[in-house]
């Protein structure tokens, strides 16, 4: 509980999610968040022979549109080849195209 409080987390499950015969029902499933985007939770019947409720969680989310930024990885550059190409006398080579 201290960790939940220190991190401002809210637990949204407020009913038992595990019910087995005459045993005492327990809250075993957790839905924790520090943002209020849980719109509702439906507790549904277990699947197959399970004794755990199926949780149908309705979330509201605000999605921000983002743009991809090109980031060059300069550490993978072929700097030895760059040094060699810088040693070429480009003036002589380019004069032939005039």
Query: Residue 37: is its pLDDT beyond 90?
Result: no
Give Cα separations from 41 to 4, 70, 72, 97 (angstroms). Answer: 20, 40, 44, 73
Domain that holds residue 53: 2-59
pLDDT digits (tens, 9 = 90+) for 50-77: 888 999 999 998 888 888 899 889 899 8
Residue 43: HSE in the Cβ half-sphere, 13 Å Cα cutoff: 15
pLDDT attached to residue 21: 78
pLDDT digits (tens, 9 = 90+) for 20-36: 878 888 888 888 988 88
86 occurs within a structural domain: no
Residues in the chain: 98
81 occurs within a structural domain: no
Which positions ≥6 away from 24 have C-beta within 8 Å?
none
pTM to 2 decimals? 0.54
11 occurs within a structural domain: yes
| Three-class SS state of 67 | coil
Q: Total structural domains in the chain?
A: 1
């Amino acid at each position: 509980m201290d960790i939940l409080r220190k991190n401002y987390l809210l637990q949204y499950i407020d009913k038992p999610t595990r019910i087995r015969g005459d045993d005492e029902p327990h809250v075993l499933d957790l839905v924790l968040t520090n943002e209020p985007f849980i719109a509702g939770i439906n507790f549904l019947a277990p699947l197959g022979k399970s004794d755990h409720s199926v949780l149908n969680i309705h979330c509201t989310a605000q999605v921000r549109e983002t743009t991809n930024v090109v980031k060059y990885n300069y550490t993978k550059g072929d700097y030895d080849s760059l040094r060699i190409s810088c040693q070429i006398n480009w003036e002589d080579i380019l004069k032939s195209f005039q």
